[in-house]
A and B are shown apart, each in its own frame.
Chain A
Amino acid sequence: MKTVFCLLMIIFLAFSGYHLSFRHFKLPLVARKFYLTGIEFLFLGLLIGPEFLNIVDQKTLNSLEPLISLLLGWIGMLYGFQFELAKLRRFPVELLHAAVAEGLFTLVWMFGWIYCALSFFAQISFPVKMSICIVLSAAAACTAQTGLALWTSFQAVPRQKMIIHLRYISGIDGMVGLLAYGAVFFFYPGTENIQPIGQFFVVAGISAGILLLYLLFTAVRLERAELVLIVVGMTVLTSGMASLANFSSLIISFGVGVCLVNFLRDKERIFNLLVSVEKPVYLLMLLFLGLNWRFDLIWYPVAAAGYFLFRFSGKFSAGWLLTRSNPGFRPHPYFFGFGLLDWGGLPMAFLLEFSRGFPDTATGHAVSVALTALVINEALSGPLAGRLLQRDGS
């Protein structure tokens, strides 16, 4: 019964919340940023989760697993749909190189720092250490367009070319993080016996099966109700198969999304369907992440501050390097990286999947530190992005 009430409450909150969030209320920038990005749902999850009110306990959370899988699959597909080759080709290839380089730089930078920090401060086994390093650095490598969208919707921004560059990088660099994140499924205890080559064939087989099914289903014109049924059914099926194969549903769904957007006739209709519930899906994910947030240890804020600083320095350095090495980026200010601080939904999906896939103490600590850092980041990234965008223009 508790599961039912929790499910009702969670869906009700997401349902009502997304009509209230993302609105342009006159609030101070920091508060507005929190409100508009839905971060309040993270706190709501924390409040109703095991840490405080315990309305949604661990057992209940486990029984809501199909809903979490649907969310992860949905986000993966949606992200994959951004990689339509025809649209990507409209931009010069240098931009693609810049985005990948920025993502890779931050990934390696973060990996190094986190590995050192964990080696000094945490007594954990090598596989666990590696997986935490991979997840946290992969999450740090991603960038979202939230801050840019916020600024450009509130006031005119003079540097239109810089906005285009920032948006492009924000859309692409998550792919680097996502692909790196997949490695965690070969390191974590319990999955170390999986042979990468064998696993590759299993994942390829699953993806081929899913793509074949999509092609067969969409070979005839579908009514909207049928399309809803098929997309929901396929997303849950894909997530289920990925989990059965001990792999990430996010990555397989992402791959499926990329293939669909490039090869499927009905891609527009599927994309519109995915986007139509993007906000509730995002808020539900924040809520579920909040449920996994812990404050067991006093050093969380310190570790989170460290994580934020590493990421900030990584993004700042990556931005600076771009403005020095890439001719297209030379006109931009040296603190170009200030526009790349927002996190967005994809890294949160990594954290959610990681915490559900490998539930143990070390994972819980890592996710909690990352979530605390996320809140710090959300508070500071807005003003920093504003500083970059307003330069010369105010």
Chain B
Amino acid sequence: MKDKGRDILLSGIILCVLAILALWAKSLDPGSSWQRAGLADFTLGFVLLAAHVSGRLVKTLRMPMISGYVVAGVLAGPFVSGFLTREMTENLKLFDDLALSFIALSAGGTLHVKALGERFRSIFLNVILQTVIVFSSVFGAVWICSACFGFTAHLSRLHIISLAVLLGVVAIARSPSSAIAIISECRASGPFTETVLGVTIVIDVIIIVLFTLALTAIQMFFSGGPGDFSTLIALCGEILVSLVIGALIGLGISFYISRAGHDLTLFLLLTGFAVTKISQWLGGFMLANFQLALHLEPLLICMSAGFVVQNFGRAGFQFIKSLDQAALPVFVLFFSLAGASLDLNALKACWPMALFLVVIRGAGIGVAAWTAGRINRDPSPHLHNAWMSYLTQAGVAIGLAQLAQRQFPEIGIYLTTMVLAAVAVNQLVGPILFKIALERVNEAGTR
């Protein structure tokens, strides 16, 4: 108790000192390029340190550290204190990409073929039921109740159905990065953890297919003609190619570990980052030069690479150990930037509708997870706590909403605003509930 009090006091003082320094930095007018560069450096250092201390502070309250990172990001971000402007957040996106690819490598590396085989039935049931039930409940609720909310009351029937379809699909999306971060922080392992991770990752793959399917259906809806299913076939091809490329990179990483092995953490960070950036560049390059739309999925490539290293070689342990060494700075930066990007204006604009969506989605996840657990005869603690593990949402959901906005500007702004608002709630509440779930099933601290 005494230690806890000291930790809180210490964290409080550090945050005060950082806040004073931030006020000083904010009061200056950076005239020269030297000073402007200094402000960018100061911001980066401030985000890293303040988020870490916030994480430590919430840890003493038995909450997950990533909630602290997210809250620090929100507080420092453009909607609260304004210390981190939108421009600064955009400039730090480089680190975001680095973190995301790293997290994807971790996600793949955490999956064990043997454990997946043992949990196959449970994962399969969860994926199917959650996809169907979450989609149906959100779709149905939006369709029926959107007239009751001022935010969407004036939309036409066609628009409401389209919005309901898209919101239903986006509601299925999860946040593998948050799941990995919480599992890593809690040092959790066991059947419950493996199932949650497996379900989250599989859904992360199929959500892209489902989303493309939904876009095609809405296109048919709007145009009244047959949809273009070639996009869907191309998408399946891209996913397959991404998985194969990832497997090859995984073999390369295994080879590096067995032959050289030094500075593995740095090597893995660079590999993940290079994969993300080269995939993005290749898409633009192919389109510009060959009029060919090729979208390799960097996250899938990294996940596949991590999976191959873990399961088809002898380097799995070393691989995970190296990833763990860099996990803290990566998570701190990634989630604090995610917090700074959370759109509180959107939440302010449509919070009743967003809360309604969050509750309906949570209920859908609860029913699906309980039913899957019941059919699979999972132990009682698993059955009652599983729903808490699937609530977190982040970048994937926002990315999908933004994609849809580009395709259907008529409803896009409603979709994006609602998704941003719902993600803000889910990202704040989800990690806390997931940590509680891991503690309740006694899988926290077992790794």
Residues on the B chain within 8 Å of A234, using CB:
45, 49
Pick the residue among A15, A220, A229 that contacts B332 (CB under 8 A). Answer: A229
Please give the distance in Å from A144's CB to the nearest CB on chain B. 25
Distance A5 CA – B329 CA, assembled complex (angstroms):
22
Residues on the A chain within 8 Å of B42, using CB:
236-237, 240-241, 244
Nearest residue (CB) in A for B28 is: A244
Say if the beta carbon of A233 comes within 8 Å of chain B. yes
Distance A62 CA – B94 CA, assembled complex (angstroms):
14
A219 x B45 contact (CB < 8 A) = no
Nearest residue (CB) in A for B274 is: A8
Nearest residue (CB) in B for A226 is: B328
Nearest residue (CB) in B for A219 is: B10
Number of A-B contacts (CB under 8 A): 133
Say if the beta carbon of B267 comes within 8 Å of chain A. yes
- Bitwise, A17-47 to B at CB < 8 A (1) or not (0) is 0010000000000000000000000000000
> How big is chain B's contact interface, by range?
35 or more
Pick the residue among A12, A62, A238, A244 that contacts B25 (CB under 8 A). Answer: A244
Please give the distance in Å from B119's CB to the nearest CB on chain A. 29
Say if the beta carbon of B290 comes within 8 Å of chain A. no
Say if the beta carbon of B7 comes within 8 Å of chain A. yes
B328 x A228 contact (CB < 8 A) = yes
Q: Which residues of B215-268 are within 8 A (CB) of A?
A: 262-263, 266-267
Residues on the A chain within 8 Å of B325, using CB:
224-225, 228
Say if the beta carbon of B128 comes within 8 Å of chain A. no
Please give the distance in Å from B85's CB to the nearest CB on chain A. 15
Residues on the A chain within 8 Å of B14, using CB:
213, 216-217
Contacts A8-B270, A15-B267, A244-B30; A229 near B38 (Cβ below 8 A) = no
Distance A220 CA – B325 CA, assembled complex (angstroms):
20
Say if the beta carbon of A1 comes within 8 Å of chain B. yes
Say if the beta carbon of A4 comes within 8 Å of chain B. yes
Say if the beta carbon of A246 comes within 8 Å of chain B. yes
Residues on the B chain within 8 Å of A236, using CB:
41-42, 44-45, 48
B41 x A65 contact (CB < 8 A) = yes
A19 x B329 contact (CB < 8 A) = no
Say if the beta carbon of A384 comes within 8 Å of chain B. no
Pick the residue among B6, B13, B263, B281 that contacts A15 (CB under 8 A). Answer: B263
Say if the beta carbon of A230 comes within 8 Å of chain B. yes
- Bitwise, B140-156 to A at CB < 8 A (1) or not (0) is 00000000000000000
Residues on the A chain within 8 Å of B33, using CB:
62, 359
B41 x A239 contact (CB < 8 A) = yes
B34 x A357 contact (CB < 8 A) = yes
- Most chain A CB within a 10 A radius of its CB, from B35, B37, B43, B48: B37
Q: Which residues of A348-366 are within 8 A (CB) of B?
A: 356-359
Nearest residue (CB) in B for A223 is: B328
- Most chain B CB within a 10 A radius of its CB, from A232, A242, A244: A244
Distance A228 CA – B10 CA, assembled complex (angstroms):
19
Please give the distance in Å from A243's CB to the nearest CB on chain B. 3
Say if the beta carbon of A48 comes within 8 Å of chain B. no
Please give the distance in Å from B66's CB to the nearest CB on chain A. 14
A66 x B44 contact (CB < 8 A) = yes
Say if the beta carbon of B21 comes within 8 Å of chain A. yes
Say if the beta carbon of A145 comes within 8 Å of chain B. no
Say if the beta carbon of A124 comes within 8 Å of chain B. no
- Bitwise, B258-299 to A at CB < 8 A (1) or not (0) is 000011001100100110010011001000000000000000
A216 x B34 contact (CB < 8 A) = no
Nearest residue (CB) in B for A185 is: B34
Say if the beta carbon of B344 comes within 8 Å of chain A. no
Say if the beta carbon of A275 comes within 8 Å of chain B. no
Distance A213 CA – B17 CA, assembled complex (angstroms):
7
Q: Which residues of A254-273 are within 8 A (CB) of B?
A: none
Say if the beta carbon of A143 comes within 8 Å of chain B. no
Pick the residue among A1, A66, A233, A359 that contacts B281 (CB under 8 A). Answer: A1
Say if the beta carbon of B180 comes within 8 Å of chain A. no
B43 x A229 contact (CB < 8 A) = no
Distance A356 CA – B274 CA, assembled complex (angstroms):
27
Q: Which residues of B12-55 are within 8 A (CB) of A?
A: 13-14, 17-18, 20-21, 25, 28, 30, 32-35, 37-46, 48-49, 52
- Most chain B CB within a 10 A radius of its CB, from A70, A212, A243, A357: A243
Residues on the A chain within 8 Å of B262, using CB:
19
Say if the beta carbon of A209 comes within 8 Å of chain B. yes
Say if the beta carbon of B340 comes within 8 Å of chain A. no
- Bitwise, B91-108 to A at CB < 8 A (1) or not (0) is 000100000000000000
Residues on the A chain within 8 Å of B273, using CB:
8
- Most chain A CB within a 10 A radius of its CB, from B6, B18, B41: B41
Distance A228 CA – B263 CA, assembled complex (angstroms):
15
Residues on the A chain within 8 Å of B28, using CB:
244
Residues on the A chain within 8 Å of B422, using CB:
none
Distance A209 CA – B324 CA, assembled complex (angstroms):
31
Distance A243 CA – B324 CA, assembled complex (angstroms):
33
Distance A117 CA – B28 CA, assembled complex (angstroms):
39
Residues on the A chain within 8 Å of B52, using CB:
226, 229-230, 233
Distance A244 CA – B20 CA, assembled complex (angstroms):
15
Say if the beta carbon of A96 comes within 8 Å of chain B. no
Pick the residue among A230, A235, A241 that contacts B21 (CB under 8 A). Answer: A241
A220 x B10 contact (CB < 8 A) = yes
Distance A68 CA – B20 CA, assembled complex (angstroms):
25
A237 x B10 contact (CB < 8 A) = no
Contacts A66-B40, A240-B39; A356 near B34 (Cβ below 8 A) = yes
Nearest residue (CB) in A for B269 is: A11
Contacts A209-B17, A226-B328, A240-B38; A11 near B94 (Cβ below 8 A) = no
Pick the residue among B49, B94, B329, B332 that contacts A4 (CB under 8 A). Answer: B94
Say if the beta carbon of A313 comes within 8 Å of chain B. no
Say if the beta carbon of A158 comes within 8 Å of chain B. no
Say if the beta carbon of A82 comes within 8 Å of chain B. no
Distance A230 CA – B53 CA, assembled complex (angstroms):
10
Please give the distance in Å from A180's CB to the nearest CB on chain B. 20
Say if the beta carbon of B327 comes within 8 Å of chain A. yes
Contacts A8-B273, A224-B325, A229-B329; A240 near B45 (Cβ below 8 A) = yes
B328 x A225 contact (CB < 8 A) = yes
Q: Which residues of B398-444 are within 8 A (CB) of A?
A: none
Nearest residue (CB) in B for A243 is: B38
Say if the beta carbon of A60 comes within 8 Å of chain B. no
Distance A8 CA – B271 CA, assembled complex (angstroms):
9
Q: Give 4 nearest A-B pairs by CB, closest first.
A: A243-B38, A237-B45, A240-B42, A240-B41
Residues of B within 8 A of A (CB): 6-7, 10, 13-14, 17-18, 20-21, 25, 28, 30, 32-35, 37-46, 48-49, 52, 94, 262-263, 266-267, 270, 273-274, 277, 280-281, 284, 324-329, 332
Q: Apart from A237-B49, A244-B39, list 11 A-B contacts with CB within 8 A.
A: A1-B280, A4-B277, A15-B263, A15-B266, A19-B263, A216-B10, A228-B328, A237-B41, A239-B41, A243-B38, A243-B41
Give me 14 A-to-B residue pairs in the complex whose CB atoms sit less than 8 angstroms apart, sorted by A's number: A1-B281, A69-B37, A209-B21, A225-B327, A229-B332, A236-B41, A239-B38, A239-B41, A241-B25, A243-B38, A243-B39, A244-B25, A246-B35, A356-B34
Residues of A within 8 A of B (CB): 1, 3-5, 7-8, 11-12, 15, 19, 62, 65-66, 69-70, 190, 209, 212-213, 216-217, 219-220, 224-226, 228-230, 232-246, 356-359
